[in-house]
Structure 1
Amino acid sequence: MNNARPAETVMSLDVLLNEVKVGTIVRTPGDFNAFSFDPAYRASGGHPVLSLSFRAATGGLRKDPRPVAGALPAFFANLLPEDKLREAMEKHHARAVRPGNDFDLLAALGADLPGAVRVVPSNGDIVAATAAVEGEPKARFSLAGVQMKLSVMKNTGKGGGLTVPLGDSDGQYIAKFPSTAFPGVSENEFANLALAEAIGMDVPERELVGKDQFEGIPEEFETLAEGLVLLIRRFDRADGARRIHIEDFAQVFGIYPARKYEGAAYHDIAAALNVAISPVAALEFVRRLTLSVVMGNGDMHLKNWSLIYPGDGNSPAMAPIYDVLSTVPYIPADNLALSLGGERAFKALTLPRWKAFANRARLPEPAVLKTVRETVKQIDAHWWKLPERDAVPSIVLERIDAHVRAMMPVLSD
């Protein structure tokens, strides 16, 4: 018996963290969406952790959030793709999902979300998006963000290759496709990730592959841009299809994706890491932030910093660094995505700004300034001889190099 049905007819979704039922999202008349915690999960004190945004200062869980009109609560809204990637996924599921409806899209994609969260119909039905109204399996993964990227799996056996998981299959990699607007963006990020690894940061496995390595990509996700694809191993997926929970800082702060560039400042992230993990984690954030400033990365917004919950899922750690690239080759007048010590312009980020940042984050000034200076020296020692530079188109590399040279004295005085 086929119990598949369109997402718009689903009224209640169970929220699972791996196999633990966390709560339920109910769609009420008037298109209000209400999330409530499961009594057993609340009795456990909220373990494993779904999000720091739901935790009370005194321990345990906050009260259930208020129903939201026409949208999902912020934590769940941040699990969905944005802009062109969202448009492509809605088109892919056109017969089951209404455009712009968050609940519909979450119901359709909820079996394969970032981290260890799964969202499935409460009554055991299968959303038509996963079984497909027309009887064919559909891609039903969700990746946050705006760039055209796909969750993919490597085929084993004769021929190999890469393909989009359909139906109940899981992707182990994220494929980030080239852009017509930003030439060489895959190679740019590839080199920046290599630099991050060279200076000792936690970086996921990655490689550059040709588009000819992919097969069976639905036409909605095809891009016209030529060039290489950046393939990154998913750090929220372990061997044996085990899922590891993650949350980005828009989720940590309860901020909707539309406000990812303005909902908080960098000192807020540092302060949260200091309390939730350790001062060492906060200083590692300073290292990563220094890398972003030196390399000219103006897109490190709230969704490009994440926590990961390894082991039993009860304690957060810093997730590996990701979405690291230089934006200044494409946007010469670009600024930081968030405020650092009250400033966003790269060349204004002198050491007094970092002192202001340290004070607002409640971190010791000497430790922050030492971290900034040491990171600048490490970048200078590795960037110029990094083998992965050879992959970056010359015009893009020249602009990155010019920015790096300009920023070195700004952060060293």
Structure 2
Amino acid sequence: MTALPTAETITCMDVLLRDVKVGTIVRTPGDFSAFSLDPAYRATGGVPILSLSLRSASGGLRKDARPVSGALPPFFANLLPEDHLRAAMERHHAGNVRPGNDFDLLAALGVDLPGAVRVLPSDGQASVATRTTDGPRKVRFSLAGVQMKLSVMKNTGKGGGLTLPLGDGEGQYIAKFPSTAFPGVSENEFANLALAEAIGMNVPERELLSRDQFEGIPEEFDTLAEGQVLLVRRFDRTANGRRVHIEDFAQIFGLYPARKYDGAAFHDIASVLNVAISSFAALEFVRRLTLSAVMGNGDMHLKNWSLIYPGAGDTPALAPIYDTLSTVPYIPSDGLALSLGGERSFKALGPARWKAFANRARLPEPAVLKAVAETVHRIDKHWWTLPERDVVPPSVLERIDAHVRTMVQILTD
């Protein structure tokens, strides 16, 4: 029997954006990786858009970057899972993927990545074994981040339920599993997403489910924690399964995931939104920042803000809000993930900080302060009677409520 190929044997992969070849990633001896744009794609001026990081100051496409030693270029490194989620995926693909090797893991998971990107072997052959000779099919999707989560699909017909996708890119939802370290985290995020929707923000569909509604979850991804599973509809997939391209701000700034907390400040994100989209998008970002401050979310780092490229993929928009929850119940001393006007402490976010943020982002101070005030008012109006509060464990809810009261007072004085 012919041996099944492994990710380690792959040295060249084509990068596709939907069905358009945009470039090639090559692995050279010594474990260097290089990404080069395809000449035909370069001739289009970079449409559909792969990443704003490829744009030069003059508006054209940058020259191809130099090879990177021991890692993928930042854009592709940010497509991979991190920490515990990555370790689980590497265990799942043990024998095909070497631990800690980005190129191997991308070769294994490249058929179903966040957004509309696919990374496939240049010879068109399967990159790694999708099933063992005597075992079940291997999952081959990647979700960025550290929380244990899977891309899943809803079964149709009698019984329903959810299961892992059998084909490439069929996952319609992200299932986020409970955590032993952070009790009630699924319920916490569920309520925060409901609040965001109640105050007029663009939020994906979501629901809470019990674990017994899932089938075929590999043991590597089972957290064995008590609590419900949060199911969120993927906004990078349409109802008919079409891929919609997205990129997070670590990708936009050309930074590796390790720098998601210190590679930029919030005003840098606002500046990009103001220039690449509109001042309205930048002010919507201000509203979401205000929500994070009031609810005590200290994890809105660069990878938790994204652009989305709907339609033809030539015009960016601010992606729906995601990964929004309160971290202060678990980390009482937590602060903002990035600097806002030179400050990270929630309780220091008075008008002076927002004015400094506005000036650095080149946004009008009155518009920023108005957006903050209106958002605080809406949160205070909706949070206390929000039906979804009832699912949050009392000990977690009590800590959230105390933080909200404090921040409403700070931001309305």
For residue 40 of structure 1, what is the aligned residue in structure 2? 40
Q: CA deviation at 1:167?
A: 4.8
For residue 164 of structure 1, what is the aligned residue in structure 2? 164
For residue 178 of structure 1, what is the aligned residue in structure 2? 178
Q: CA deviation at 1:57?
A: 2.1
Q: Is the 8 A contact 1:163 1:214 kept in 2?
A: yes
AA of the residue aligned to 1:222:
D
Does 2:146 align with 1:139?
Answer: no
Does 2:399 align with 1:388?
Answer: no
Mapped to 2, the partners of 1:183 and 1:162 lie a distance apart of 23
Mapped to 2, the partners of 1:233 and 1:73 lie a distance apart of 29
Q: Is the 8 A contact 1:78 1:144 kept in 2?
A: yes
Does 2:272 align with 1:265?
Answer: no
For residue 86 of structure 2, what is the aligned residue in structure 1? 86
AA of the residue aligned to 1:331:
I
Q: Deviations over 1:40-77 (max 9, x none)?
A: 00001010000000112222210001100000000000
Pairs within 5 Å for 1:12-411: 12-132=12-132, 136-168=136-168, 170-411=170-411
AA of the residue aligned to 1:140:
R
Q: Is the 8 A contact 2:141 2:169 kept in 1?
A: no
Mapped to 2, the partners of 1:2 and 1:109 lie a distance apart of 22
Mapped to 1, the partners of 2:270 and 2:134 lie a distance apart of 49
Q: CA deviation at 1:3?
A: 8.3
Q: CA deviation at 1:135?
A: 6.0
AA of the residue aligned to 2:45:
G
Q: Is the 8 A contact 1:149 1:177 kept in 2?
A: yes
Call closer, same or farther: CA 1:384–1:254 in 2, change over 3 Å. same
Q: Deviations over 1:212-250 (max 9, x none)?
A: 000101111111101100000000001221000000000
Q: Is the 8 A contact 1:140 1:166 kept in 2?
A: no
Call closer, same or farther: CA 1:133–1:111 in 2, change over 3 Å. farther
Mapped to 2, the partners of 1:13 and 1:133 lie a distance apart of 25
Mapped to 1, the partners of 2:192 and 2:328 lie a distance apart of 13
Q: CA deviation at 1:126?
A: 0.2
TM-score, with structure 1 as normaliser: 0.98
Q: CA deviation at 1:129?
A: 3.8
Mapped to 1, the partners of 2:114 and 2:368 lie a distance apart of 32
Q: CA deviation at 1:157?
A: 1.0
- Which 10-residue stretch deviates more, 19-28 or 133-142? 133-142
Call closer, same or farther: CA 1:59–1:385 in 2, change over 3 Å. same
AA of the residue aligned to 1:223:
T
Mapped to 2, the partners of 1:56 and 1:343 lie a distance apart of 30
Mapped to 2, the partners of 1:136 and 1:129 lie a distance apart of 11
Q: CA deviation at 1:168?
A: 3.1
Q: Deviations over 1:357-393 (max 9, x none)?
A: 0000000000000110111000001000000000101
AA of the residue aligned to 1:380:
D
Structure 2 residue runs of 5 or longer lacking an equivalent are none
Q: State the Cα RMSD in Å.
A: 1.2
Q: For 1:207, what is the secondary structure of its paired residue?
A: strand
